[in-house]
Amino acid sequence: MADPGSELNGCFPELGGFVVLDLQRLEAELPGAEGSDLFAMFGAGAVGDRVTSAGIAVPILGVSIGYYTIVLRDSRSRPRWRNPVCSSHGWVVGTQTGELLVTGAGYLTEWNQRHDQHRAVTVPPGWYRLTITGYLLEPDSDDDYGLDLELTRAATPPPFTADLTRLFSFEEPR
């Protein structure tokens, strides 16, 4: 599992969001995607719904502009922060390789799987239920916001029940 302290600092939400994805599963679903505008393709409906509900890519969209600390943690460990501002559950992610990429959504517009702004996190291969929780960070923090990505291991692909229209704005508590 991701180390309870697996943390990515200074993450910027290109085009107002982040995406967590399994590169191998993405390539299997969309062979030859290199150079394509995956952002437009995913936003068009059927393809985006399919890769999201299949646990290939998890969109975290509509986030407030600023810098983020993103923590991926096992559900058995405690969240790093208190007083969440927003939360969404029912997401699914699966990985065959044990490596998940976290990237700004804008990097999907001309997909380059080796872009130096992608951040890789290692987790045991398998299926996970994912809960995304957002936090406002303290004024003395290097980053403005925090995203806690809680991974709960599942023996088989869990049912996808997340709200695909969910936005992660920090402007008003949700």
E strands of the chain, at which residues? 7-11, 17-21, 57-61, 68-74, 86-95, 99-104, 119-122, 126-136, 145-154
Predicted confidence at residue 43, as pLDDT, reads 85
CA angle 45, 167, 64 (to 5 degrees): 125
pLDDT digits (tens, 9 = 90+) for 138-159: 888 899 999 999 999 999 999 9
Could you tell me the CATH number of the domain that includes residue 69?
A: 2.60.34.30
pLDDT mean across residues, the chain: 92
For the chain, give the percent of residues with pLDDT over 70.
95
- Using CA atoms, how far residue 161 sits from 42, 89, 165, in Å, is 18, 8, 12
The reply to whether 143 falls in a domain is yes
State the residue range of the domain holding 97.
7-154
The reply to whether 174 falls in a domain is no
Predicted confidence at residue 171, as pLDDT, reads 66
C-alpha atoms less than 13 angstroms from C-alpha of 62 in its C-beta half-sphere: 12
pLDDT digits (tens, 9 = 90+) for 74-121: 999 999 999 999 999 999 999 999 999 999 999 999 999 999 999 999
